[in-house]
């Protein structure tokens, strides 16, 4: 089978993971409201774990230069500016019914999925077995993050259907990344570390500036402990999956 077909099938499967939130659609509104901050905590841990335990090590391994950390700072600064612009435009027009960070999470996830597409394409171009193991690693990394993202979008004011649709559209950037990687394979090694570092900066900003402050609004000690445990679980799960699949991207 032609490598391009395998690449496109793989990234489409990865994109479908963005619909994992469908398992929460059938829940009653009262039940969803009770668990949504738990999902936000889980997403915070997944983003921080993904940034510090997955994206940054991969970025530094690919470059081993201070420019990777400059890209992290650039990611943080750019996401700050984007949030300010989104907040101003959105509140001006629609009365702030949806939080600006919902769109930031979609942008950050879009960049991340674009990179996943690059990595999958690179894997298959190096050999079908490596492409399959790379795809498997990304699938298991994406599931917890997509579940958390759905909770963040719901908490930010999206309806369930809108959250699923926009999350899926954001995931389709993996297809663009895959096509980019396939046709420009010889140049990918030079730019991927910087894209990874940039995405890490975006994840750190979203988790630290937007999601964790939402958790601080909960004053009940028991609920706060549950949120901390799920935040910690998100970090540990990303670490565990990275450990199991370490070397899959090599």
Could you tell me which residues come within 8 angstroms of residue 146 by beta carbon, excluding any fewer than 6 positions away?
A: 17, 18, 19, 20, 21, 167, 171
Confidence (pLDDT) at 126:
64
Q: What CA–CA distance (Å, rounded) separates 54 from 46? A: 10
Mean predicted confidence (pLDDT) in 186-213: 81
With pLDDT > 70 as the criterion, what percentage of the chain qualifies?
87
Does residue 81 lie within any of the structural domains? yes
Q: What CA–CA distance (Å, rounded) separates 198 from 54? A: 13
Does residue 250 lie within any of the structural domains? no
Top-ranked range on mean pLDDT: pick from 39-53, 76-90, 129-143, 219-233: 219-233
Does residue 189 lie within any of the structural domains? yes
> Residue 63 is part of which domain span?
3-17+35-244
Confidence of residue 249 (pLDDT cuts 50, 70, 90): very low
Count CB neighbours of 169 within 10 A: 13
Confidence (pLDDT) at 154:
87
- Of the listed ranges 63-67, 136-140, 236-240, the least confidently predicted one is 136-140
User: What global pTM score does this model have?
Assistant: 0.72
Q: 131 pLDDT exceeds 50? A: yes
Q: What CA–CA distance (Å, rounded) separates 113 from 134? A: 14
Does residue 193 lie within any of the structural domains? yes
Mean predicted confidence (pLDDT) in 199-203: 85
Domain tally for the chain? Answer: 1
pLDDT in tens, 46-60: 889 888 988 888 888
- Of the listed ranges 29-38, 86-95, 129-138, 162-171, the least confidently predicted one is 86-95
Q: Does residue 231 contact residue 42 with C-beta atoms inside 8 Å?
A: yes
Confidence of residue 246 (pLDDT cuts 50, 70, 90): low
Does residue 24 lie within any of the structural domains? no
Q: E-assigned strands of 168-214?
A: none
Does residue 174 lie within any of the structural domains? yes
Does residue 29 lie within any of the structural domains? no
With pLDDT > 90 as the criterion, what percentage of the chain qualifies?
19
Could you tell me which residues come within 8 angstroms of residue 60 by beta carbon, excluding any fewer than 6 positions away?
A: 68, 193
Q: Please, what sign has the CA dihedral across residues 130, 58, 242, 198?
A: negative
Q: What CA–CA distance (Å, rounded) separates 222 from 84? A: 33
pLDDT in tens, 62-114: 787 888 899 999 989 988 887 777 666 555 455 455 576 788 888 888 888 88
Does residue 149 lie within any of the structural domains? yes
């Amino acid at each position: 089978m032609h490598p391009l077909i395998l690449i496109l099938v793989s990234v489409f499967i990865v994109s479908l993971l963005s619909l994992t939130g469908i398992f929460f659609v059938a829940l009653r509104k009262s039940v969803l409201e009770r668990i949504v901050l738990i999902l936000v905590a889980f997403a915070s841990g997944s983003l921080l774990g993904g940034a510090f335990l997955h994206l940054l090590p991969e970025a530094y391994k690919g470059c081993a230069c201070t420019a990777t950390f400059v890209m992290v700072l650039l990611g943080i600064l750019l996401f700050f500016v984007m949030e300010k612009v989104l907040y101003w435009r959105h509140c001006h027009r629609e009365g702030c019914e949806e939080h600006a960070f919902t769109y930031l999470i979609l942008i950050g996830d879009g960049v991340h999925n674009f990179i996943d597409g690059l990595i999958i394409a690179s894997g298959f171009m190096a050999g079908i077995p490596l492409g399959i193991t790379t795809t498997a690693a990304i699938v298991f990394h994406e599931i917890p993050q997509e579940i958390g993202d759905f909770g963040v979008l719901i908490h930010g004011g999206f309806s369930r259907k809108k959250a699923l649709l926009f999350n899926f559209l954001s995931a389709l950037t993996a297809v663009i990344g895959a096509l980019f990687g396939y046709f420009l394979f010889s140049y990918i090694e030079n730019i991927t570390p910087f894209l990874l570092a940039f995405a890490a900066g975006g994840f750190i900003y979203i988790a630290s500036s937007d999601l964790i402050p939402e958790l601080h609004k909960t004053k009940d000690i028991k609920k706060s402990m549950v949120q901390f445990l799920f935040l910690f679980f998100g970090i540990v799960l990303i670490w565990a999956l990275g450990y199991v699949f370490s070397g899959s991207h090599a």
